[in-house]
Structure 1
Amino acid sequence: MIRVLIVDDHTMFADGVSLLLANETQIEVTGKCTLGSHVMPFLQRTAVDIILLDISLPDVSGLEVCRRVREEFPRLNVIALSMFNQASYVTEMLQQGAKGYILKNTGKDELVRAIERVYAGEEFFSREVTETIMRDLMTRKEAENRAKSIPKISRREQEVLSLIVNEHTNQEIADVLCLSLKTVESHRSTLLVKLNARNTAGLVKSALAHALV
């Protein structure tokens, strides 16, 4: 028998979830809490295997409740139950030890499957949540790839590049930066290599494309 505690400040919703699970012979709803502060006292007197936890509670955040539960009852698993399908919420709940994240519009079959899978030691996410996580990972990966593709130039090289973009000659750059003409030419040559450019026009194009100036 899988013993479940429902934590949600909306009594009607909690009652609805309890009703959905009422005919499941392998699942028993052992209680319902409407406040986060009621959870720990309840767990100290009642055996629970899984908590269905709303992440938006009026007194204590679901994140904090999850953290406390996982610290004091490490064998007890938490499934976040939320209407928020955002990667930041999912990530924060997972960081606090949640083993699942399902949306409040989920059907009975998915709810039961989530409870059974998490009880068996697996993780479970609503299909929509999985898609959100994948999109977030792809976005992060693309951002990392873009960051890696940006040429690394020194502060001095950036100063030289900025003056090149503003159509200064090598001699003018040398005068502005108090450098020798040879040093400026050396910086220009290095920039051509780093920015994979063949000439001044290429330097300007690459500098603007990578927002280096």
Structure 2
Amino acid sequence: MTRPRILMADDHSLVLAGLRKLVEAEAEVVGTVEDGRALVEEAQKLRPDVILLDISMPLLNGLDAARQLTKLVPDSKLIFLTMHATPTYATEAFKAGAAGYLIKRSAASELKQAIQAVMRGQHYMTPLITKDVLAAALHPPDVPVLQRPVTALTPRQREVLQLIAEGKGTKDIATLLNVSVKTVEFHKSRIMDELDLHSTAELTKYAVAEGLVSL
């Protein structure tokens, strides 16, 4: 059987080095990146079989990166490897297109198993989170549920919110997103209205609480 080609994304170089050692006997690591925007770019160039990514990453968080990747590289299998062990994050990950979800503390024992499962076309959920979460994410109930406010934001608004929380200025955000300063200011105003927040400090605190950025 051909070894799967894997692209890995995490904002900690030591984590990437450790993950490479864990998988290199079973897979070919074709690239590593340290932020969400670089991940989207490299995935389109490399077209890997498996993409291993974190949720909390600079410039573009893993959930929004996954939403883009499922459209841009639909044949790549996405496995989240994150510190977020709550059902909410796992559910959002599968809704965003994940094939697997692992907690970092279980990587050594589960990563090989998860890669094999997704390469067989299966989904993999760490036993550290109840399987009911996976079932609910893959087969959502017909009864509509209220969204968390952050998921009610548009993808562009979430990008702007994350970059604001990371300390980027309006001009820097405009350059990164290839839009005008006025457009960034418009998005910031709409985000504040949507979330009922009134300062950059409040936006930052909210983004940290929602896992869009990490301290």
Residue-by-residue CA offset, 1:83-119 (whole Å, 9 max, x unaligned): 1111110111111111110000114341001011011
- The 1-side partners of 2:6 and 2:119 are apart by 10
1:89 aligns with 2:83: no
Report how many residues are paired: 135
RMSD in angstroms over aligned alpha carbons? Answer: 2.1
Query: Which structure 2 residue ranges, 5 or more long, are not aligned?
Result: 142-215
- What is the aligned partner in structure 2 of residue 102 from structure 1? 102
- What is the aligned partner in structure 1 of residue 23 from structure 2? 21
The answer to whether the 8 Å contact 2:66/2:96 transfers is yes
SS of the equivalent of 1:117 reads: helix
Query: Which structure 1 residue ranges, 5 or more long, are not aligned?
Result: 142-213
**Relative to 1, partners in 2 of residues 1:89 and 1:44: Cα closer, same or farther, differing over 3 Å?**
same
- What is the aligned partner in structure 1 of residue 13 from structure 2? 11
What is the one-letter code of the residue matched to 1:128? Answer: L
The answer to whether the 8 Å contact 1:87/1:132 transfers is no
- The 1-side partners of 2:25 and 2:74 are apart by 28
Over the matched positions of the two proteins, sequence identity in percent amounts to 32
Higher Cα Rg, which structure: 1
What is the one-letter code of the residue matched to 1:96? Answer: A
The answer to whether the 8 Å contact 1:5/1:52 transfers is yes
**Relative to 1, partners in 2 of residues 1:29 and 1:127: Cα closer, same or farther, differing over 3 Å?**
same
What is the one-letter code of the residue matched to 1:103? Answer: I
**Relative to 1, partners in 2 of residues 1:107 and 1:70: Cα closer, same or farther, differing over 3 Å?**
closer
Structure 1 stretches of at least 4 aligned residues deviating more than 4 Å after TM superposition: none
Q: Which has the higher contact order (CA 8 A, sep 6+)?
A: 2
1:78 aligns with 2:78: yes
- What is the aligned partner in structure 2 of residue 39 from structure 1? 39
What is the one-letter code of the residue matched to 2:20? Answer: S
- The 1-side partners of 2:107 and 2:68 are apart by 28
